Every structure is written in C-alpha cells, then in structure tokens.
C-alpha cells in the first residue's frame, strides 16, 4: 500500500503501516551560510523530500483558527502585577519647589534689597528661606527662616504648596518676602496640578551692592598735566559752593551742609562737611579728597581700556566749572548734591570769564521735628489723678503743686447751697442737704439736715473732696465749680442727684465779684431768691424790683 492509500484508514493501532517504498531519509537543514552570514531557510519538504503533514489535503478542511494556540505564536500571557505601594515621604523624597524672592530692609537710612531662595519640601510640606551669600553685603547672611511648617494666617492653617505663586508676598516670622520667579520643575509641577502660575517678574537691584561692584573694579590712572602758563595763572583760585545732599530716601534725616571746592588750576574737586558748633559729630570733616570727578562713572568704568592712560575723549567727561550752577543738582559718585549758594569770588569769576550770572541763594527751611507725646497712664485709684501723674513723671513722686495764691486769697471762704435729693425711692423724698464749696482748693462737703420722723439720722454725707463732673474722662477729670450750681437745676455728685433749692448771701457776693464766670440769668435768679428770702438790704431790694 502507498501512504496516500492509507490516509483513509482510521488511525487506530493495527491500521497504520509504514511506506516500504521509501528509500531516502535525509533530513533537510534549516541553517545555511550566504555571503559569510548565517541565514535560516524556509522548509517546504519533510524527511526524504516527502511533503509535510501540514501540506496534506486533510488539513485543508479543518478550522485552523480553532486549532491555533496563541501562546505558540505570541508566548504565554504575563500576569498583572499590582504597583508597589510607596508612602508619601518616599514618593516625594528630594523633591522641592524653589522660588526666588527678595525683601526690603532699612539699614543706616538706606533701603537695601536682600535676595532669598524659598524652598518648599513636598515630602513633609515644610518651608525654609535661605539667603545666598553676597560679597561685601554689610550684614550676616545664610538661613533666615529655619525649616518647618508655618501658619498662613491667624486662623492657624499651615502653608501648602497651593498657596504659593509667583508675584505674591509671603510672610514668615514677621518678615515679608516677594516671590518674583520659580524654577522649571516648580512651574511644571504646579501646572500639572491644575494651578495657573504667573510669569516671572523682573528682579530689582540693590543700589549698595551695585556700588560695591563698581568699587572693586580696577581704577584708572591719570597722568598729571605738566605745569604751564594757564596753570600758573589759575593757581590758588577756587570756586566754592554750598550744597546739601539731595536724597529722597532720607525724608526725616537732617539736611547736612557741604562745601564743594573746585580748584581751577587742575580741575579737581574737594568736598567738606559744614558742622555747626555742638553738633555732636566727630571725625574728619573731609568727605572727598581733591580729585577729578567724572560726569558718568558707569561709562568710564565699562569702557575702561587696558592701558592706564586716558585719552582726551575721556578727560572731557569730567565735571567742569560750567556744570556748577546754583539751583542745579550734580552727581558726584552716585551722590546728588543740590547747590544752594556760592561765595562772592565765584559769582564774579563766573560773570567775568564764563558770562554766567549765578542765581540767588536757595533758602532751605529746616524741618521742625515734633516729639510724639506719650499718652498718660490710666488713673490707678490711689489718691487723686494728679498723684498718679506725678508717679509717672518721675521715679520719686513729688507732691502735686497747689495754687498758693488762690489758697491765700480765698482762705476760709466757703459758698453754701441748700439742696434736695432728687429721689427715686419713696423713703428718700424730702431729704434736705447743705452743700459747701471751699474756694481755696475747690473741695466740696455735703451735710444732711436732720428731720424728725424721717428715718434718716442726718449728719455728714460727704467729706471734703474734689468732685469730678458727670461723664468726664476719669484720667483727666474736670471738677465741679461754682458755675455748675444753678438754682432749680440738678447736679450729679458721685451718682447722687441733688436739686439746688437755695444759697446764702456769700454766693451772691461772689457772683457779683466774678460776673465773667456766671451768666446774667444765673445772677438775676440768685438776686430774686435772696430778695424773697429777705437776706438782701433794702437798696438791693429796690434795685431787684
């Protein structure tokens, strides 16, 4: 039987027979060499060059997709592994948000700009502020705010990275920092979290630091001019100007006068400070020694040549006599001086040689500094308010001063009034009092009249004491005076209300002697009352009628 004839037989033991006609059993090879490279050939025949089983007709009627094992082609599927859990401090370890900022501080009457780096640590939401070192800054630098968590406001909420943005003011430990830029990672991180980050702002400059940078640059040297006829003619001739330092930042500082001397022989300038007697200042008065002053220091320093000699173009940039004019502000090494006056020789010289008339002197009014008054302490309740003020004025309190003249003139003089208590409770109805006012010191005494079957014993109601007016400041009280005692009116004394019902003749005499202290109506009412009581003489009675 041929092998093709046995394909129809069922594949059970005893029905499969080998092909005895086969004579070739060579195995085809897959690997070969071509042009010196190993290659793999596609095999289309089996052993002995017989067709492969996959090319048999029986395979054409089977569903290959159902028999196909994807793992034989794509490999076994990989099992899904859940991500490894990482805690917050590990996930954000060594990840920081960095902002650049600055703070302003007044040092020696000059506003300084201090640059800082604000670092926010994402691992524990802490903050720190560091100040990078600056050469010759003039103040200690380093860590301004230690690392930690800080409250955002009085509510107690702590700072979070959501509260940080470019252009905002950050207050930590009573220091306010303005954030003007951030790095690339900070901007990308905050943007990925849905925040809108402002653009970077321009960084301000520190005037003092820029000045120090200019001083550290190498200075140029100017060869002295050879003496000539013009120099010999100008020798000893000096133009002198009075000036003040025009600095807007020194608003409350004292305006210091300076003498600016311009030496015509070599075009040098010298500045001295004018110190009045007993000014309290020490040290040399010379602010700047004799030297040439350039008009623009920056241009000369930026274009500084390699050689030490200067050309004629550079020399023309120095200050000249024509640059000095009364009322003009000149810049001498970053200091602005306002020229306010000059001497007589300078006026004549400018008028004769430069055909320039110097303006009239400028009057500088000195600002009167008013010392702020300290508020008086509150009344302690011991003694009188005057006693409390004396203990505040000096360590060892002194006895308050009294008006000796008033006590001498009004010695043993008293004004007496009769009054009735403005009752609220029925048992107080009809209580009568005598009020005595002592003219020597303004003390008041109240005595209650004894009335039978009234339920009140009478006698002393109030000892001699100063009585403040109702509703006045307890620390600076205003005391009751005779002007406050008006017939028919109510006067309040330490919470008790009294209705003035009468007065003696001494009160009327006092009112006649001091009419400026009382109204005409009060004097006339007192006169009518005394006439009705029969306490005035007949001539006064006729006058009253």
CATH classification (class only), 231-276+283-353: mainly beta
How close are the terminal C-alpha atoms of the chain, in Å? Answer: 176
- Token pair listed for 261: 């001397």
For the chain, the structural domain boundaries read 5-74, 88-211, 231-276+283-353, 373-402, 410-544
Which tokens hold the place of 276?
């009045």
CB atoms within 10 A of CB 262: 21
CB 240 within 8 Å of CB 265: no
Residue 531, φ and ψ in degrees, nearest 5: -65, -45
Radius of gyration of the chain (CA): 54
DSSP state of 508: H
User: Collapsing DSSP states into helix, strand and coil, what is residue 130?
Assistant: strand
Q: What are phi and psi of 461, to 5 degrees?
A: -105, -35
3-state secondary structure at position 300: helix
Print pLDDT tens along the chain (545 aa): 555 566 667 777 777 777 777 788 888 888 888 888 888 887 777 787 777 766 665 555 555 555 677 777 787 777 777 888 888 888 888 899 999 999 998 887 788 899 999 999 999 999 999 999 888 777 788 899 999 999 988 888 899 999 999 999 999 888 899 999 999 999 999 999 999 999 999 988 888 888 887 777 777 766 655 555 566 677 889 999 999 987 665 555 567 889 999 999 888 999 999 888 877 788 888 989 999 888 765 454 555 555 445 555 555 578 888 999 999 999 888 788 999 999 999 999 999 988 889 999 988 877 676 777 878 778 777 777 888 888 888 888 888 888 888 888 888 889 999 999 998 888 888 899 999 999 988 999 999 998 887 778 888 999 998 899 988 888 888 899 999 999 989 999 988 999 999 999 999 999 989 989 898 898 888 888 888 888 876 545 455 45
Half-sphere exposure of 489 (CA within 13 A, CB side): 13
Class of domain 88-211: mainly beta
Helices 505-513 and 520-533 meet at what angle, rounded to 10? 150
Q: How far apart are CA 504 and CA 506, in angstroms?
A: 5
Backbone phi, then psi, for 34, in 5-degree steps?
-135, 125
Task: Tell me the CATH number of domain 410-544, given options 3.50.90.10, 3.30.930.10, 2.30.29.170, 3.40.50.720.
Answer: 2.30.29.170
How far apart, in whole angstroms, are the C-alpha atoms of residue 535 and residue 545? 15
Contact in structure between 430 and 442 (CB atoms under 8 Å):
no
């Amino acid at each position: 039987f041929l092998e093709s004839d046995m394909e129809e037989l069922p594949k059970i033991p005893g029905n499969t027979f080998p092909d005895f006609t086969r004579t070739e059993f060579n195995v085809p090879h897959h690997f070969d060499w071509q042009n010196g490279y190993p290659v793999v050939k596609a095999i289309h025949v089996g052993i002995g060059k017989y067709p492969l089983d996959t090319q048999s007709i029986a395979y054409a009627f089977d569903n290959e997709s159902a028999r196909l094992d994807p793992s034989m082609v794509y490999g076994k599927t990989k099992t899904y592994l859940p991500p490894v859990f990482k805690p917050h401090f590990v996930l954000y370890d060594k990840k920081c948000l960095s902002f650049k900022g600055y703070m302003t501080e007044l040092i020696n009457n000059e506003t300084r700009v201090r640059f800082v780096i604000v670092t926010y640590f994402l691992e524990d939401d802490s903050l720190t502020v560091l100040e990078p070192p600056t050469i010759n800054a003039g103040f200690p630098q380093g860590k301004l705010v230690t690392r930690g968590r800080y409250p955002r406001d009085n509510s107690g909420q702590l700072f979070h990275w959501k509260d940080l943005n470019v252009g905002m003011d950050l207050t930590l430990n009573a220091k306010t920092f303005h954030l003007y830029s951030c790095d690339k990672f900070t901007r990308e991180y905050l943007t990925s979290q849905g925040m809108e980050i402002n653009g970077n702002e321009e960084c301000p400059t520190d005037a003092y630091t820029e000045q120090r940078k200019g001083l550290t640059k190498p200075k140029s040297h100017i060869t002295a001019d050879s003496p000539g006829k013009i120099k010999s003619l100008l020798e000893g001739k000096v133009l002198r100007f009075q000036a003040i330092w025009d600095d807007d930042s020194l608003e409350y500082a004292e305006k210091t006068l300076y003498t600016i001397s311009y030496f015509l022989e070599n075009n040098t300038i010298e500045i001295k400070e004018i110190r009045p007697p007993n000014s309290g200042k020490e040290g040399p008065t010379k602010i700047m020694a004799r030297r040439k002053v350039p008009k623009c220091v920056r241009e000369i320093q930026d274009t500084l040549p390699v050689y030490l000699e200067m050309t004629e173009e550079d020399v023309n940039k120095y200050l000249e006599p024509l640059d000095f004019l009364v009322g003009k502000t000149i810049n001498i090494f970053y200091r602005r001086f306002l020229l306010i006056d000059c001497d007589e020789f300078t006026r004549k010289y400018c008028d004769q040689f430069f055909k320039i008339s110097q303006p009239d002197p400028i009057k500088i009014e000195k600002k009167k500094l008013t010392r702020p008054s300290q508020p008086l302490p509150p009344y302690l309740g011991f003694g009188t308010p005057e006693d409390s003020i004396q203990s505040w004025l000096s360590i060892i309190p002194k006895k308050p001063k009294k008006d000796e003249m008033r006590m001498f003139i009004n010695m043993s003089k008293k004004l007496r009034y009769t009054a009735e208590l403005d009752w609220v409770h029925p048992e107080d109805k009809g209580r009568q009092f005598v009020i005595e006012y002592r003219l020597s010191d303004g003390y008041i005494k109240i005595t209650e009249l004894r009335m039978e079957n009234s339920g009140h014993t009478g006698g002393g109601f109030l000892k001699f004491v100063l009585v403040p007016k109702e509703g006045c400041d307890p620390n600076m009280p205003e005391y009751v005076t005779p002007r406050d005692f008006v017939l028919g009116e109510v006067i309040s004394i330490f919470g008790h209300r009294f209705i003035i019902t009468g007065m003696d003749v001494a009160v009327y005499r006092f009112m006649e002697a001091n009419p400026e202290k009382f109204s005409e109506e009060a004097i006339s009412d007192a006169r009518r009352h005394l006439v009705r009581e029969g306490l005035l003489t007949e001539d006064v009675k006729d006058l009253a009628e």
